[in-house]
Structure 1
Amino acid sequence: MSDNDQEVVVEEIEMEEPQVEETEESVEVAEGEIDTGLTKALDTYRKLIESNELTEVEQSALEKRIKEIESREIIERDQAHEAQEIPVEKNKISIGPPTLTRFEKARIMGARALQLSLGAPPFIAIPETARTSLDIAMEELDKKVIPIIIRRVLPNGDFQNIPIDYFQ
């Protein structure tokens, strides 16, 4: 057996490490890391206070800030929020701009052009200037005859379903 063969065997053995399941101890370590970061920040504030570069007013303000930080409740996980629909009243769009964004327009025109190219009937008379299905889709969007609803979603999951004819 040559030296190269032995190296290959060693590499294969190293790759076959057992997978470690997450235990309560590893979770506690993660929580300890958060506390370590907090203590480091507080130590930095304390070092600033100990240095003679700050006035008494600034030192008292920093001490007050340290007490405020220590008294804060650390939130590790936000409580679950159930997504709710925000009702739409006529001409009142509460999420986003009152007009279609360029991304919404592109998505609508692309989807509609695909439908038209696959044989869907157009909602308008085909204009003489239309050369492609995209031209027809743009004309349909301008006339707001496409039966589509835009869903705008907030970061917390709340959403608003807006019919296309509500946009300006």
Structure 2
Amino acid sequence: MIRLYNVLKDSRYLSDAAEETELLEAPENDKETELLEAPENDKDGEPEENAGLNKAIDTYRKLIEKKDGAEGLSEKEQEALENRIKEIETREVVEKVEVHEPVEIPCEKNKITIGPPTLTRFEKARIMGARALQLSLGAPPFIPIPKTARISLDISMEELEQRVIPITIRRVLPNGDFQNIPIDYFQK
């Protein structure tokens, strides 16, 4: 390893780059650096409270005025625009999102509350694929093997139709709440 390093050092791959190049120093208080820095303060020297909201309102106003074209806004339209902007300004700004702990929604009396009452095509495909893999790896079937079955997928399809696979489907809501549904709760 050391020999390889010495060989590469002698060639140009690992030459001392610091000796060959000169370092550039950053200019101090240059006009260009002042222009690149983002203004954090407004005219009074205090940070602007709702800079994002003000920018959004200005953009909204420009879009509405541009939509009407060269004609401009009538007094009614201008008044409606100002009322809409006041409504937007009075909205509550959510700054902190509370953490939601996922909760299980119970299956009461075979009632499915999340999603359709039948298996979706994606759930069917996932169940049949997983069960076919199990069967092909030597798992015992839950039904007598039909004479028409040629591959493990045929057996898993028949097991799914008879609802004998001991599987539970978990359906999840966007907020994290979920429902565990046994396969025999689904309609055929």
**Band the TM-score falls in, shorter-chain normalisation:** 0.7 to 0.9
Q: Which residues of 2 match residues 21-32 of structure 1 at below 5 A?
A: none
Q: Which of residues 49, 73, 93 is equivalent to 1:74?
A: 93
Q: 2:139 is matched with which residue?
A: 120
Aligned residues: percent identity? 71
Q: Which ranges of structure 2 fall in alignment gaps of 5 or more residues?
A: 1-11, 19-39, 41-46
Q: Residues 90 and 166 of structure 1 are in contact (CA less than 8 Å); yes or no, is this contact kept in structure 2?
A: no
Q: What amino acid maps onto 1:146 in structure 2?
A: I
- Distance change (3 Å), C-alpha of 1:133 and 1:45: closer
Q: 1:9 is matched with which residue?
A: 17
Q: 1:104 is matched with which residue?
A: 123
The TM-score normalised by the length of structure 1 is 0.73
* Structure showing greater relative contact order (alpha-carbon pairs closer than 8 Å, 6 or more residues apart): 1
Q: How many residues align structurally? A: 143
The TM-score normalised by the length of structure 2 is 0.66
Q: How far did 1:116 drift?
A: 0.9
Q: Which residues of 2 match residues 13-162 of structure 1 at below 5 A?
A: 35-46=50-61, 53-162=72-181
Q: Which ranges of structure 1 fall in alignment gaps of 5 or more residues?
A: 11-27
Aligned partners of 1:93 and 1:127: how far apart in 2? Answer: 31
Aligned partners of 1:7 and 1:41: how far apart in 2? Answer: 53
CA deviation digits over 1:47-67, x for unaligned, max 9? 557x97222222111111111
Aligned partners of 1:98 and 1:141: how far apart in 2? Answer: 16
Which stretches of structure 1, 4 residues or more, deviate above 4 A after TM superposition? 4-8, 45-49
